[in-house]
Amino acid sequence: MLGHFNSIIAMASNAAKKAKLPIAAGSPTLTNDENAPEKTSSQSCKTTPAAGNCTPPIIFRTDCPDLKRLGIYFGIYIGVGTTSFYALKNHIRGHKTNDFIDSLYLCVVTMTTVGYGDLVPHSFVSQLICSIFITVGMCLVGIVVKIAASYLVVKQQMVLVNALHLSKKLGPMEALKEIENLKIDYTKCLISLIAMAAHFVIGIFVLVTVEGMDFTDAVYCACTTMTTVGFGDESFSSEFGRTFGIVWIATGTSCLGQLLLYIAEVYTDIETKKLVKWVLTNNIIAKKDLEAADNPENDQVYGAADYILYKLKEMGKIKQEDISIAMKDIDIVIKDLDVDHQSDSSQKK
């Protein structure tokens, strides 16, 4: 949606530049020198085919968390968790293979909330460390949710800003036509579903060939793992299987989270389209309303100017005193027009 708006705004700017027409306030300013650099406002974006390349205004960007910093947090979190579980390996019971792999496996299974239960802490110290580890992990998940929410909110704000920008350039009616022509993109959802299906098939293959499960048990284990339910009656038990499971579980839960984000993004795009249409529609005075305003039968308004003042008062933009002053000025203008009309008529006679 952002890419579509940016393309339309860019075409309008180029057309105005060639025709040497002024640009509406708030839009990119053009100088008389064609070679001069183009200056843009804080709400303008670079024209790109993808919405993701649109740079949000500074006031929006400052609220977005740093993804690199979040990655560092997760790296430290996994490193500290693995080290802690390795140091407490004698306080963890269950089926064990390799101490380091088991520690990393327990860390990933706990972090992703799969929680098979094939490795569990059984002493007070290990249970305390594990409880702290889980609490910190939930805080990190909260940061991830905040990033996703910020992304959706910023995208909604930028679509609305660009729609209003387009409305200033081409008019609200043309902007509404562009909104009507917009189509919701489901490509990322489809790609994510395909990735999830491929990930699911790979997991079943490894569970059958490496772990020696039946096909039905493998499908069951893959489903409970991908959905982070993790009953624990079926899980990875070999050293290679757990090594594969570390990567497979981490990437699988990431794919699931990304799919949910894309579904939320599609819903946000649909609601944003409705919001933009509502905002643009409220800035338009229908022709039939203006024609009705010239009919004094309803004793409310007596002309288009009076109707506009009435609507402004209804919206809370002006007060009754302002209307009285404006109507006096309108009466003076009307009287002057009547005098000019009478003088013209007398001259013709």
Torsion of CA 209, 210, 216, 222, to 10 degrees: -120
Residue type, 222: A
Longest dimension (CA), the chain: 115
Q: What is the pLDDT of residue 146?
A: 86
Residue (of 236, 249, 251) closest to 102 by Cα position: 236
Closest C-alpha among 180, 168, 214, 154 to residue 23: 168
Which of left, alpha, beta for 96 (phi over 0: left; psi -120 to 50: alpha)? beta
Is the model's pTM score more than 0.75? Answer: no
8-52: per-residue pLDDT in tens?
A: 556 556 655 555 444 443 333 333 343 444 434 333 343 333 333
Q: Is 275 helix (H, G, I), strand (E, B) or coil?
A: helix
Mean pLDDT of 283-301: 56
Alpha-carbon distance of 325 to 345, in angstroms, equals 30
Query: What pLDDT, on a 0 to 100 scale, did the predictor assign at position 289?
Result: 59
Tokens of 197: 């299906």
Confidence class for position 290, pLDDT limits 50, 70, 90: low
Domain 63-294 top-level CATH class? mainly alpha
pLDDT at 103: 94
Domain boundaries, the chain: 63-294
Whole-number pLDDT of residue 49: 34
- CB 159, CB 276: distance < 8 Å: yes
Question: Is the pLDDT confidence value at 161 over 50?
Answer: yes
The pLDDT, as a whole number, for residue 316 is 74
CB 102 within 8 A of CB 242: yes
Residue 210, pLDDT above cutoff 90: yes
